A and B are shown apart, each in its own frame.
Chain A
Amino acid sequence: MGNVLGPGAPRAPRRGEPLGSPGSFDELHRQCKEVFPQQMEGVKLVVTKTLSSHFQVTHTIHMSTLGPSSYRFNATFVGDRQLSPTEAFPTLVGDMDSAGSLNAQVLQLMAERIRTKAVFQTHQAKFVTWQFDGEYRGDDCTATLTLGNPDLLGGSVILVAHFLQSITPRLVLGGEMVYHRRPGEEGAILTLAGKYTAQKWVATLNVGYGGAHASYYHRANEQVQVGVELEANTRLQETTFAFGYQLNLPQANVVFRGLLDSNWSVGGVLEKKLPPLPVTLALGAFLNHWKNRFHCGFSVIVG
């Protein structure tokens, strides 16, 4: 009969919808985390100025009630290659505070599916973090390798490997392995991860030797989003639960985020845009009933 399907015969097309890229491992819990309010204390003024379509600078003045006040200068450069509204390459970000501490990031697209990132952090004149990432984004999988603080002379390194695979259009499974090495000591920790995305909700679970992290995000409607989180750390023998919600009222230019957690903390942040001015006013307050501590703050964001 011979070889009916010769070497040049095309493969049959896959049935069903495409699986979709699972995204980055660090963003598995992002949707839930964005619902929670950020801690605010003192007074903060943020002024952002866009100098061109590629360059933007930000000045931040923070008058703190808990520590020393500070000034930060941030400069961001984005290149011409834009993959999506939030991703453009190359991207260079530099952030320096009044004490001379620097936080710098460089993101570059080396090939169609390969991205690299370099992160440097200094505390005044001393380097604290130097980290290099390489990420491969396939049609239905993502693989990342990270080198943290590699020190050839000292013989120490932290190696982190991530892998995520879309099993179905809704289910993503994957894992993380962290390997650390110092003179006289080395170890590795494996963590398994899973994420299920439905039309209105997302459930994510990370389980490993060091503990577990579960999150549930629910979009009730255009106005209300809810996030629920549970973290258990077997090394510290601690568990925490947090419930957060976000209320969007675009007609009133208001976004409110609230928080309630198992440490007896209650807090909320209200953000109000003040059109036609490019100004956003944020008011926040947090109260810890168990420790009897209260702090509040407000910030003005211009631009």
Chain B
Amino acid sequence: MAAAAAAAAPGGPGAAPQGLGGWLRSAYRFATDRNDFRRNLLVNLGLFAAGVWVARNLTDIDLMAPQPVP
């Protein structure tokens, strides 16, 4: 009985993710799991790098410069 069930469903729920589709599914679950510490750390590291880039490249503005005449 157990052998018949195993033969009928070779990709059962206990099997490891196979191929590109399985890898993509596990990557999607990792990226959307808000309770995962490593995932949150990676996201915040990326945000930190983006924040540093913004600080170095987009903040050199003159607030008192006259507005351009249309």
Contact = CB atoms under 8 A, between A and B. Distances in A.
Given A237-B37, A249-B63, A226 B55 contact: yes
B62 A221 contact: yes
B59 A239 contact: no
Interface stretch (A116-124, A212-220, A293-301): A212-220
B52 A216 contact: yes
Interface stretch (A4-12, A67-75, A240-248): A240-248
B60 A221 contact: yes
B63 A220 contact: no
A239 to B, nearest CB: 5
B63 to A, nearest CB: 5
B62 A223 contact: yes
B63 A223 contact: yes
A218 B55 CA distance: 6
A228 B47 CA distance: 9
B55 A228 contact: yes
Nearest to B40: A239
Contacts of A197: none
Interface residues of B, number: 19
B15 interface: no
B30 interface: no
A247 B63 contact: yes
Interface residues of A, number: 26
B5 interface: no
Contacts of B45: 230
B3 interface: no
B44 A220 contact: no
Interface in A192-244: 201, 214, 216, 218, 220-221, 223-224, 226-230, 232, 234, 237-241, 243
A207 to B, nearest CB: 13
Contacts of B44: 230, 232, 239-241, 262
Nearest to B63: A223
Interface of A is mostly: strand
B22 interface: no
A245 B58 CA distance: 12
B48 A241 contact: yes
A216 B43 CA distance: 17
B63 A216 contact: no
A251 interface: yes
A7 B32 CA distance: 71
Contacts of A224: 59-61, 63
B64 A223 contact: yes
Contacts of B59: 218, 220, 224, 226, 245
Contacts of B60: 220-221, 224
Nearest to A229: B48
B41 A251 contact: no
Contacts of B48: 214, 216, 228-230, 241
A220 B59 CA distance: 6
Interface of B: 37, 40-41, 43-45, 47-48, 51-52, 54-56, 59-64
17 contacts: A201-B55, A216-B52, A218-B56, A221-B61, A221-B62, A223-B63, A224-B59, A228-B52, A230-B45, A238-B40, A239-B37, A241-B44, A241-B47, A245-B59, A249-B64, A251-B64, A262-B47
Given A223-B63, A239-B44, 11 more contacts: A216-B55, A221-B62, A226-B54, A228-B51, A230-B44, A230-B45, A230-B47, A239-B37, A240-B44, A241-B47, A243-B54
